[in-house]
Amino acid sequence: MDSLDLMQELTGAANNSLAVFIFRFLINFAVATIVIRYIYYPIYRNKDFVFTFFLFNLVNFLICFLLSSAVLKIGFAFGLFAIFTMLRFQTVRIPVREMAYLFISVTLGIINALASIEIGLPELLFANLIILACTYFLEYKSKLSHENFKQVTYEKIELIKPSRNEELLEDLRQRTGLPIQRVEIISIDFLRDTAYLNVFYQSADNEASSRGLGWGD
């Protein structure tokens, strides 16, 4: 009889644990899908990053849920920073916007896997809703302009003198059709009478999100 009661208790605990896992997974997957598929993808159309975001979210959720304990939760928090430190300094550069979405994907997996039962369902759902609302607002409703740049090979090196800066800007505006506001001189080649410039201008969209500021990067 005692063995039967023990088996029933273990079965009940296993069923309860499975139900919690499924419930948390569905919340995590639903929110991640909205962020990645319906907020990120319609703008950037980068299938590779969509694949990466979903896998990072899923793997972090599974690891955190299956290995969760009071001791490990602190370790996961430090591990999160270690992940981004490692990714940030790799040879392959990840654009800042994609890094933000990667951070959101990882954070969603951790929150939905490790949130304490004592916190309650409303608080967990509200935390996910805050992330969704902030991401949507900043991506679609924010009216901030972005400073873009283009790399230009310029032949009128007599205009690169500081005293003729306004003439340089006006000439570049007429020739490029862009509202150029400032110029950064990268290098000057006196043998060929050319200068290599970064020209900066304001626009609504980030037109060079995957490129660095250095010439020839």
The secondary element (H helix, E strand) that includes residue 198 is strand 194-203
Q: CB neighbours of 190 closer than 8 A, spacing ≥ 6? A: 157
214 pLDDT higher than 50:
no
Average pLDDT over residues 133-137: 95
Which pLDDT score, from 0 to 100, does residue 17 have? 80
Whether 212 shows a pLDDT value over 50: the answer reads no
Q: What is the pLDDT of residue 77?
A: 57
pLDDT at 88: 55
Mean pLDDT of 129-134: 96
Name the pLDDT band for 184 (thresholds 50, 70, 90). very high
pLDDT at site 64: 83
Q: Is the pTM of this model over 0.95?
A: no
Is residue 181 within 8 Å of 195, Cβ to Cβ? Answer: no
Q: Give pLDDT tens digits for 73-128.
A: 556 656 665 665 565 555 457 788 888 998 899 899 989 988 876 677 888 999 99
Rounded CA separation 168/165 (Å): 5
- Which among 164, 146, 153, 156 has a CA at the least distance from the CA of 199? 153
CA-closest candidate to residue 146, choices 96, 202, 207, 209? 202
Q: How many CB atoms lie within 10 A of CB 118?
A: 6
Q: What is the mean pLDDT of residues 150-157?
A: 91
pLDDT at position 82 is 65
Which pLDDT value is given to residue 155?
A: 92
Q: What is the CA radius of gyration of the chain?
A: 26
Asked whether the beta carbons of 114 and 76 are under 8 A apart, the reply is yes
- pLDDT tens digits, residue range 193-202? 899 999 999 8
What is the average pLDDT score of the chain?
81
Question: CA-CA-CA-CA torsion for 158, 164, 167, 173, nearest 10 degrees?
Answer: 80
What is the per-residue pLDDT for 51?
A: 94
**How much of the chain exceeds pLDDT 90, in percent?**
42
Q: Kindly tell me if the per-residue pLDDT of 217 is higher than 60.
A: no
Q: Percent of the chain at pLDDT above 70?
A: 74
